[in-house]
Amino acid sequence: MILIKEIEFIDYNENEVIMINLINGAADIIEKNIYNLIINSQFDKIDKQVLDCMLERKYLFTDEKEYHNFLEKLDNKIEELEKRATPSFLVVPSYACNLHCIYCYEQTYMIKGTKDIDPLKMVDIQFDGIDKIIKIYEDKYGNIKDDIRITIMGGEPLLKCNLKTIEYIFKQAKKRNYIIDIVSNGVDLNYYVDLFNKYKSTLDHIQITVDGVKEIHDKRRIFHNGQGSFDLIMKNIKLAIENNILIILRVNVDDTNIDELPALANFLVKEFNNSEMLKPYLYLLQDGGCSGEQNIVNEKIGIEKIFQLEEKNPNMTIFRKKFHPENFIESIFNDVPYQPVLRHCGAAKNQFILDCKSNVYKCWHGIGNNNYRVGTFYPKYELDDEKINDWFNRSVKIINKCKECKYRYICGTGCPAAKHMDNDNMDIKGPSCVNYGELIKTIMLEKMKKL
């Protein structure tokens, strides 16, 4: 019998251990005496029923060859799925913004590119570029069956002055049966409600960031004159929800606002009465942007703190927690098979960003910075295949440090944009490691307390 390397054991109590398969998300509680037999490879002393279960749940294989063949077939299957991943696109209609958030990394970039042209003409050129990328994909893999998604972001895309441009984007998307979502600060959202009602079947959701109750938010997400934005944003979120527009509410969390999350939870529950049209989530900032690193919270400490706050305030359950191993842990507690990955995100697969300066990027942390672009689409359509391949080769099968890491099917090489403000270029060819063992243990034990 061969025990897989991709396995985690967590002490649960004096008599029991949690055993987790880091490939498929299988998780079981076993007695300590069974655990000792397993780690000492004394499989002949384990009850046959237990052994059969471990074989079925892929903790064990009969021999090294079977184990190796399983991993090889798995890698090939994931590779094929990720290679064929439905293309997704981000469109940047403008880099202008009506806020001056303290942690905005875009403020550090000298955004350069071709001379501005008519915004509506630029939309036509952007969609022509999207059409070309989709044709390349379909020539390789056949017709796309899933929905194509366009994310509109900026800068701030929903500026009042961008109304005609955004409407034209919706018109072009609807003509092609694409789905749209939007990343916005929500300040001028009220000017767009009629447009969104007109294109209800095209708009999926709008993501808006609120970083705390008024006192906290208004110190972080401010207008250029220093005035806070909380009241206006909340008014527009209510307006959107009244019009059945789904709002994904992002809360950027660091040391300056983590203790005030219960107050925000109480406010949201009171104001929106657990509306299905409001989906809040917490994101522990990994990069301080322009505000520096002094307020960044260690993820393990942040997770523990958030669970402690949740214990004291049930309203905190309104927040989805977007931690690094989130998808993996959720598969365990929802009892659904985990989909292992070789690549961390869409940037290493078939995601493309087209901005208003005719630049093409793979990663949205790099938009506006010419060091990160992988091509242009005006006046000439030209993609840099070598740079695109560098992104696609950001795989646990390629990066040496990742090949033998037992967390590779959860991590997928990590995010190269983490701490990207420290360097002029992202290290696309190197790993970006996170202590998954520590994080999985922390979250598992916290969640087990509630069972």
Cis status of the peptide bond prior to 93, with omega within 30 of 0: no
User: What was the pLDDT predicted at 106?
Assistant: 63
How many angstroms separate the CA atoms of 432 and 343, rounded? 12
Q: pLDDT tens-digit profile of 104-163?
A: 866 555 554 455 689 999 999 999 999 999 999 999 999 998 899 999 999 899 999 999
Amino acid at residue number 308: Q
Host domain of residue 378: 348-437
359 is a domain residue? yes
412 is a domain residue? yes
* CA-to-CA dists, residue 340 to 9, 183, 252, 257, 344, angstroms: 19, 27, 27, 33, 10
User: What was the pLDDT predicted at 417?
Assistant: 84
Check if the beta carbon of residue 364 is closer than 8 Å to that of residue 90. Answer: yes
Check if the beta carbon of residue 254 is closer than 8 Å to that of residue 287. Answer: no
73 is a domain residue? no
The answer for residues whose C-beta is within 8 angstroms of residue 379's C-beta and 6 or more apart is 114, 358
* CA-to-CA dists, residue 299 to 104, 257, 327, angstroms: 20, 14, 16
410 is a domain residue? yes
411 is a domain residue? yes
Closest CA to 221 of 187, 192, 258: 187
Mean pLDDT of successive 10-residue segments in the chain (451 residues)? 98 97 97 97 96 98 98 98 96 93 68 69 96 95 92 95 98 97 98 98 98 96 95 98 98 96 98 97 78 81 96 96 94 94 96 94 88 91 94 97 97 83 72 96 95 82
Grouping H, G, I as helix, E, B as strand and the rest as coil, residue 423 is coil
Q: SS3 string of 362-413? A: CCHHHCCCHHHEEEECCCCCEECHHHHHHHHCCCCCCCHHHHCCCCHHHHCC
H/E element, 195: helix 193-198
115 is a domain residue? no
Please state, rounded to an integer, the average pLDDT across all residues of the chain. 93
User: What was the pLDDT predicted at 295?
Assistant: 87
Distance of CA 49 to the CA centre of its chain: 40
Q: What is the DSSP letter of 92?
A: -
Determine whether 52 is exposed, middle or buried from the number of CB atoms within 10 Å of its CB (0-12, 13-18, 19+). exposed
Determine whether 416 is exposed, middle or buried from the number of CB atoms within 10 Å of its CB (0-12, 13-18, 19+). buried
Question: Within 13 Å, how many C-alpha atoms sit on residue 94's CB side?
Answer: 19
Domain count, the chain: 1
277 is a domain residue? no
Q: pLDDT tens-digit profile of 154-204?
A: 989 999 999 999 999 999 999 999 999 999 999 999 999 999 999 999 999
Q: pLDDT tens-digit profile of 310-333?
A: 999 999 999 999 999 999 999 999
The answer for residues whose C-beta is within 8 angstroms of residue 235's C-beta and 6 or more apart is 190
129 is a domain residue? no
